[in-house]
Amino acid sequence: MTHQTTCCYCGVGCGIVVKQEPNGRLTVEGDKQHPSNRGMLCSKGMNLQYTVMDQSDRLLYPQMRLNRNMPKQRVSWDAALERTAAVFKTFIQKYGPDSVAFYVSGQCLTEEYYLVNKLIKGFIGSNNIDTNSRLCMSSAVVGYKLSLGEDSVPVCYDDIEEADVFLVQGANPAWCHPILWRRIEAHKAANPNVKIICVDPRRTDTARSSDLHLPIRPGTDIVLNNAIGRLMIENGDIDLDFITNHADGFVAYSEQIMQRTVDEAAAICGISADSIQQAADWIGRSKGFLSLWTMGLNQSVIGVNKNLAIINLHLITGRIGKPATAHFP
């Protein structure tokens, strides 16, 4: 018996095929028909079955304490749900709906998110729901809404094989999204002229396999991206037709990034001005420009502005909404 499903670990969304052997044990392999991974799996995905089969320290049924000083004991699902509902009801009646909250998981399915939000917001009447998904991506969501008007990423995995310049910033996909990185590596191996720029204070595996590593000081991403934007404007590597017809705020953006020279930006970032120039030249001459980032930009007190600084590079060059040209958080 086999089941097609999706790996639950990272955001790449690799397809997997789970097979139940005659002895009841499970095996996992990559789904060769799935567009995300094309049959490949990383070490996490290849070992998914052990999280199900290893029952040595897993919770297999509901447990409950009758009071704080008693040990946990096994109870039925009905008893556990009735107790949970009773506690929620007691607090809501005594202190109001804002006295309760839900914390849910980034591994929830869309339908599960919908259901739990309807429960807490629509039925209970509280806005107290949070999730690690918000911590991960809220900066990108606001950045997209401010720049494009909605939280919609204009890119797909097939764009990888069409791009000729990749800007990886605040991310280490060689470790964290290895299947996606294998596709980028295979694309570069087949097309040696493809350039990879990695912005990361650390010399990660992603940095080591890149053509240009910019080890900036932590927190100077906006300074770097604005310096790259300045150089592309000065070099004429922008799309004035796109800016005129599809973008607002270019004059204000230009005035802002021209307030600091590239040499000043390089000193703040702790890298050479030549390396910034090299990055700007590659991006400016690219036909397909993909930028990829994760928590290095998002999980920051200025995460929204970091997102905007990198999205602006796509807007001034018109490298958005076309094959292999988009920003990819």
pTM of the model: 0.86
Q: Flag whether pLDDT at 9 surpasses 90.
A: no
Model pLDDT, residue 193: 96
Alpha carbon distance 116, 280 (integer Å): 45
Structural class in CATH, domain 2-53 = alpha beta
Alpha carbon distance 142, 133 (integer Å): 14
Q: Flag whether pLDDT at 109 surpasses 90.
A: no
Q: How confident is the model at residue 135 (pLDDT cuts 50, 70, 90)?
A: confident
- Closest by CA to 161, choosing from 187, 192, 185, 191, is 187
Q: Flag whether pLDDT at 118 surpasses 90.
A: yes
Rg of the chain over Cα atoms, rounded to whole angstroms, equals 24
Q: What is the CATH number of domain 137-328?
A: 3.40.228.10
Q: Flag whether pLDDT at 128 surpasses 80.
A: yes
Model pLDDT, residue 132: 79
Model pLDDT, residue 290: 96
Which residues contact residue 205 at a Cβ distance below 8 angstroms, ignoring those fewer than 6 apart?
Answer: 172, 174, 175
Domain ranges for the chain: 2-53, 63-132, 137-328
- Closest by CA to 325, choosing from 293, 292, 287, is 287
pLDDT tens by residue, 305-326:
999 999 999 999 999 988 999 8
Q: What is the mean pLDDT of the chain?
A: 93
Helix axis angle for 250-257 and 303-317, nearest 10°, is 110
Q: Flag whether pLDDT at 117 surpasses 90.
A: yes
pLDDT tens by residue, 240-272:
999 999 999 999 999 999 999 999 999 999 999
Model pLDDT, residue 169: 97
